[in-house]
Structure 1
Amino acid sequence: MSALKAGILTFHRCINYGSYWQARCLTEGIQLRGHEATLIDHDSRRVNLSEWKCAFRPVLPTHVPESDYPIYREKIEKFFKEFDKLPLSPRFDLDQPQTMDYYDVVIVGSDEVWNLHHPWYGGHPFFYGDGIRADHLISYAASYGNYPAASGIDAHWAEKLKNFDHISVRDENSQEIVRNALGIEPVIVLDPCLQFEVHPDDRQDPYQKPYLAVYGHNFTTDYIEKVTNYARRKNLPLISIGYRNDWADEQWMTADPHDFAHFIARAEAVATNFFHGCVFALRNERPFAAEVTSYRSLKVQGLLKTVGASQHLVWEDTGQDVVDTIFSQPLDPAVTRNITAIRKTSDAYLDQALQIKKYSHEHIA
């Protein structure tokens, strides 16, 4: 089969470790299949301002002191440098897709690309295929994020899903939405950070002693107490990466995506309430305890159910002894076997979806 000109359409400029790595991993995964893959570099002043405002105050509604702004600025600037290194298409205005490059295939996903509740991308038709210049359109690990299946989608959005030749999602909530809208059963595939290899740059580890990684923000008092109790008994410093958590012993708020990947891989255990906190703990087989938040509950619970790791969820009524066991025991080998099996399913989906005919577009300006 001839190499395809493939575009990856996702949220690739978010100031978020998971968003960076899922975009990069999916692009590199398609490249390893022998295709010419780049990230579709859409741009929007409205989106940029919203993203950057959030990046300066990421832990709202918790107060962000002005002294933290320069620290978050340093983190943001590091992300900008990493964005520039990604394999990007020529940039174009998100609201003027007619100026984008033409592709043999565009792959929409991963991330919350179909989340109608997303605070700044939600409801943009481009991620549903409108205006995309390509012969074929497929999704990989697309998600509706915190948009619940019980709300359904109206005929307007259901019709747009028909733009896709093949559809895969990354969680049961998204699967149910598509099933109810189109009457088809989209396959559940792994997030790119679990499906493909993660290749961070070599870095000097700033923490030479064992530590417990903290990734996320606005944890409940109950969860903080349980994590802190465990860390104190084990004499493990709590190090918070990416965000301020004053209950942690140290803050590493300026870490870039490569720092993050190394940091989670070397942690003794991971305390998180983020989806990709779970993903990176899983891919590195690190013990982890995940608290569920309202915004991320569907994603986190869906992921852990899919891979058979729901025992890592921590609730208000979860006992201290259970939390201690979660943090102190190695990842169940059955979880790793489940991930390996789903990788095969994900590979099979991509193999089928990318078996497409390549056309000549020399006549297209």
Structure 2
Amino acid sequence: MAKLGVLTFHRCINYGSFWQTRCLVHGLRSLGTDPVILDHQSTRVTRAEWRCAMQPLLPARTARPDIPLYASKIRKFQSALASLPTSASFALDDPAGAEECDILVVGSDEVWNFRHPWYGGCSLFYGEGLAAKKKVSYAATFGNHPAANGLEPYWAERLRNFDGISVRDENSRAIIEKEVGREAILVLDPCLQFPETISFGPNASASRPYMAVYGHSFPSWFQNAVRLWAGARSLPLVSVGYRNEWADEQWLDAGPYEFAAWMAGAEAVATNFFHGCVFSLLNSKPFVTALSDYRSNKIADLARTAGAERHVMSQETRPAEYEAVLAEGLDPAIIHRLAELRRQSRIYLTDVLA
């Protein structure tokens, strides 16, 4: 059985980061491999992660009553991470102590995003300094680094050393094919590829219908439209993980397993996060999303890839369109498109793991 080393952002205090890591590890295991998460550690990164988790809405400061709730959320993430298979720890900036593996799998997540606030420009995620017989990526992304900005030769050369490259968005595919001169296969995020690996925790909101709000810093026009739609149906807006004052209820300390149950139990979803859209799609939930500067590439490309463009709202979107999108649910064509992409992604994995 091949030993796989999965290299990703597994220690982020972020629901999407946790679930794409867990789904990929369990999904690879279902394909007959022995995956472990390569446990890179950095005091600098840990401090940055915890600072962001405790003060997620900067420059607005976290209200004092919310501080213990965010601290509880961090502890739940630490507990969940402890259940995942990890290698012996090694330094992020000095991977000499990393375990050797047969196949290095880089991804998913924004592993190649030069604009990531603390992982940007880290050569480890380009395979530098890691011993492996084969190096491949799965659902990697350059995040909000636009294809128009290109790629410096130093980074392009390191990606040419990969034996297989797959990405999760068209922006990243354009960068690889133009700057690296290699084919990049478009694949699904691990959560969409391996939805059967998702486990649920308790759902504190399960006693009555609700609309899920996931994300933060939503534009006011989006807030108003969502409140209008939910109010007409007497659906309380429940915000998870982050405080949104325009929501009716806050569940700030939900852990990753509680998050999964909460998303699955919602009547509808309002989000401006990539994995808010992912979990809406995998649960076949009606959803609306708004683009933000940091996540515009990821969300817009996911919507186009899945055929869900009408779920992306703008300031010009009329209330009738919110009604049509949220009341009708997902178009069956989206479900069929995801099934085809799942087949395509499995073919890629089967080929590179051989």
Q: Letter of the aligned partner of 1:75 in structure 2?
A: K
Aligned twin of 1:216: 215
Letter paired with 1:6: L
Distance 1:182 1:91 in 2: 31
Secondary structure of the residue that 1:85 maps to in structure 2? coil
User: Structure 1 stretches of 5 or more lacking a match?
Assistant: 356-365
Deviation at 1:202, TM superposition (A): 4.5
Q: Hey, what does 1:337 align to over in structure 2?
A: 336
What is the TM-score of this pair, normalised by structure 2?
0.98
What does 1:106-255 correspond to in 2, within 5 Å?
106-196=104-194, 197-203=196-202, 205-255=204-254
Q: CA RMSD in A?
A: 1.0
Unaligned runs of at least 5 residues, structure 2? none
Distance apart, 1:198 and its partner CA = 3.4
Whole-angstrom CA distance in 1 between matches of 2:120 and 2:67: 27
SS in 2 for 1:61: coil
Conserved 8 A contact 1:62-1:218: no
* 4+ runs deviating over 3 angstroms: none
Would the aligned equivalents of 1:287 and 1:331 in 2 still touch at CA under 8 Å? yes
What SS does the aligned partner of 1:122 have?
coil
Instruction: Flag the 1:204–1:157 CA change in 2: closer, same or farther, 3 A.
Output: closer
**Residue identity (%):** 48
Aligned length: 353
Please state how far the C-alpha of 1:93 moved relative to its aligned partner: 1.0
Name the counterpart of 1:362: none
Instruction: Measure how far apart 1:326 and its partner are.
Output: 1.3
Residue equivalent to 2:23:
25
Query: Counterpart of 1:93?
Result: 91
What is the alpha-carbon distance in structure 1 between the residues aligned to residue 49 and residue 158 of structure 2?
A: 26
Aligned to 2:2: 4
Aligned to 2:46: 48
**What is the CA-CA distance between 1:92 and the residue it aligns to?**
1.1
> Residue 354 of structure 1: CA displacement?
0.8
**Alignment-mate amino acid for residue 47 of structure 1:** V
Is contact 1:270-1:289 (8 Å) kept? yes
State the match for 1:358 in structure 2: none
Question: Which residue of 2 is the match for residue 268 of structure 1?
Answer: 267
Shift of 1:329: 1.1
Q: Deviations over 1:254-313 (max 9, x none)?
A: 000011111111100000000000000000000000110010000000111001101100
Q: Match of 2:197, SS?
A: coil
Q: Is the 8 A contact 2:201 2:260 kept in 1?
A: no
Shift of 1:205: 4.8
For residues 128 and 197 of structure 2, what CA distance do their matches in structure 1 show? 31
Q: CA deviation at 1:181?
A: 1.1
Deviation, structure 1 residue 249: 0.6
1:66 is displaced (CA, Å) by 2.6
Alpha-carbon distance between aligned partners in 2 of 1:223 and 1:118, rounded to the nearest angstrom? 26
8 Å CA contact retained: 2:200, 2:260: no
8 Å contact from structure 2 (residues 203, 261) kept in 1: no
Distance of 1:83 and 1:256 partners within structure 2: 11
> Distance between the aligned counterparts of 1:288 and 1:4, measured in 2?
39
Q: Distance in 2 between matches of 1:137 and 1:188?
A: 17
Q: 2:76 aligns with which of 78, 93, 102?
A: 78
